[in-house]
């Protein structure tokens, strides 16, 4: 059994870190190293990491100045000794056979990446929902891997819930200082894969927190997702031109998320709204071609027509619209 590195970026999660790490220490696959990257936490997280390390020699702890999630992941990658690696968010937990399941999927299929499904849990750890798939699937061929990434929901953009050959990250790092760092990065990893094994079982438990970035009102950092999708579309145009429509549709998907945040906030952001107007003007046609939802098509058409007025009109109906955000 090859060594698997588990990288856990940590920042002010004293409430959750014990549950996260304990779920890793219970893994049925024993040949692991757990790399806890304390990203300048100001609560008790760093001390908890040290206490956990003192009880199990499979744990390594890095204490560093705060640099954000990308910087913390990069630090973990830099010292990872495993032939394979995976990322866990510090407020999440995994099933006891999470590593074993992904490892077997990857090895048995001679793949570069394996993926499992996930359950959503609330802040108390209660299961809210889960993704369901009938059978395991093996995607073969570089073009097929990228096509599955864009056209399906099984691979996903998030870093967690996957096992990677460490060599995939030889030249790839997460963008420091950016939010939505997975959008900037995961497609680059997929582009290096000739085989991706997709498991049907849910082995990752993703915790929904009220103060996470996805639940916050609009701020400039949300525009990073738009930037990431634009950057990604340029890469796709140069390397996988048949998927360009889907890549451009992702720009509008990200713009839609920003508009939903703008609808929920009382502040005005005229410069950012102007920026989003340009994206709707340039890329709406691709989104309208890809999506099948009439309501979402209507949303995008109104946003393209007059975004400032659309946001103003929608503010009283933000609760209703929130149910339909996204593609």
**Structure confidence by residue, pLDDT tens digits, 276-301:** 999 999 999 999 999 999 999 999 99
Closest Cα partner for 280 from 242, 241, 230? 230
pLDDT at 267 over 90: no
H/E element, 88: none
Tokens of 187: 């497609």
| Residue showing tokens 């339909």 | 324
Cα–Cα distance measured from residue 38 to residue 13, given in angstroms and rounded to the nearest whole number: 10
Average pLDDT, stretch 254-270? 92
pLDDT at 21 over 70: yes
Give the pLDDT of residue 219.
85
Q: Convert the pLDDT of each residue in 121-177 to its tens digit.
A: 998 888 888 777 789 999 999 999 999 999 999 999 999 999 999 999 999 999 999
CB 27 within 8 A of CB 34: no
Q: What average pLDDT is seen over the chain? A: 93
Cα–Cα distance measured from residue 68 to residue 9, given in angstroms and rounded to the nearest whole number: 9
Q: Convert the pLDDT of each residue in 28-79 to its tens digit.
A: 999 999 999 999 999 999 999 999 999 999 999 999 999 999 999 999 999 9
Tokens of 63: 């204490």
pLDDT at 316 over 90: no
Cβ-based neighbours of 62, under 8 Å, separated by 6 or more? 35, 36, 37, 38, 75, 76, 79
Give the pLDDT of residue 54.
96
Helix (H, G, I), strand (E, B) or coil at 206: strand
Domains of the chain are: 4-207 (3.90.550.10), 217-324 (no CATH)
pTM of the model: 0.93
Give the pLDDT of residue 14.
97
| Residues paired with residue 85 on neighbouring β-strands, in sequence order | 5, 164
Cα–Cα distance measured from residue 21 to residue 164, given in angstroms and rounded to the nearest whole number: 20
Please, which pLDDT band fits residue 319 given cuts at 50, 70 and 90? Answer: low
For 33-51, give the DSSP string. Answer: EEEEEEES-SSSHHHHHHH
Helix (H, G, I), strand (E, B) or coil at 113: strand
Helix (H, G, I), strand (E, B) or coil at 59: strand
- What is the end-to-end Cα distance of the chain in Å, rounded? 41
pLDDT at 325 over 50: no
pLDDT above 70 covers a percentage of the chain that reads 95
pLDDT at 318 over 80: no
Q: What DSSP character marks residue 217?
A: P
Cβ-based neighbours of 323, under 8 Å, separated by 6 or more? none
Q: Convert the pLDDT of each residue in 172-227 to its tens digit.
A: 999 999 999 999 999 999 999 999 999 999 999 999 976 555 555 788 999 999 99
Cα–Cα distance measured from residue 226 to residue 288, given in angstroms and rounded to the nearest whole number: 17
Average pLDDT, stretch 240-256? 98
Q: Which one is predicted more confidently, 268 or 169?
A: 169
Q: Which one is predicted more confidently, 130 or 261?
A: 261
CB 238 within 8 A of CB 152: no
Give the pLDDT of residue 126.
86
Positive or negative torsion for Cα 27, 73, 183, 108: negative
E-assigned strand segments in 158-311? 162-165, 195-207
| Residue showing tokens 């990257």 | 37
Give the pLDDT of residue 327.
41
Give the pLDDT of residue 322.
56
Which of 206-210, 259-263, 301-305 is predicted least confidently?
206-210
CB 183 within 8 A of CB 232: yes
């Amino acid at each position: 059994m090859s060594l698997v590195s588990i990288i856990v970026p940590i920042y002010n999660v004293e409430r959750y870190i014990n549950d996260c790490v304990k779920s890793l220490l219970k893994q049925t696959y024993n040949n692991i190293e757990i790399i806890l990257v304390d990203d300048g936490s100001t609560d008790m997280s760093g001390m908890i990491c040290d206490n956990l390390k003192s009880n199990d020699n499979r744990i390594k702890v890095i204490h560093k100045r705060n640099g954000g999630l990308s910087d913390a992941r990069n630090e973990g990658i830099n010292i990872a000794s495993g032939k394979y690696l995976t990322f866990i968010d510090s407020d999440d937990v995994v099933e006891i056979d999470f590593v074993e399941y992904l490892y077997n999927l990857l090895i048995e299929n001679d793949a570069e990446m394996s993926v499992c499904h996930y359950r959503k849990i609330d802040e108390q750890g209660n299961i809210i929902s889960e993704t369901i798939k009938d059978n395991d699937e093996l995607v073969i061929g570089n073009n097929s891997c990228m096509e599955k990434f864009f056209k399906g929901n099984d691979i996903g953009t998030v870093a967690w819930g996957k096992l990677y050959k460490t060599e995939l990250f030889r030249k790839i790092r997460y963008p420091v200082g950016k939010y939505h760092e997975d959008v900037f990065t995961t497609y680059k990893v997929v582009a290096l894969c000739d085989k991706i094994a997709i498991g049907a079982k849910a082995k990752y438990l993703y915790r929904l927190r009220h103060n996470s970035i996805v639940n916050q009102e609009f701020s400039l950092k949300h525009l990073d997702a738009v930037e990431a999708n634009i950057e990604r579309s340029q890469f796709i145009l140069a390397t996988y031109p048949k998927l360009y429509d889907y890549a451009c549709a992702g720009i509008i998907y990200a713009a839609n998320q920003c508009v939903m945040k703008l609808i929920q906030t009382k502040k005005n952001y005229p410069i950012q709204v102007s920026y989003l107007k340009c994206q709707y003007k340039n890329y709406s046609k691709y989104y309208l071609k890809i999506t099948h939802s009439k309501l979402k098509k209507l949303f995008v058409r109104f946003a393209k027509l007059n975004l400032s007025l659309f946001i103003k009109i929608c503010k009283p109906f933000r609760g209703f619209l929130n149910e339909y955000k996204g593609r």
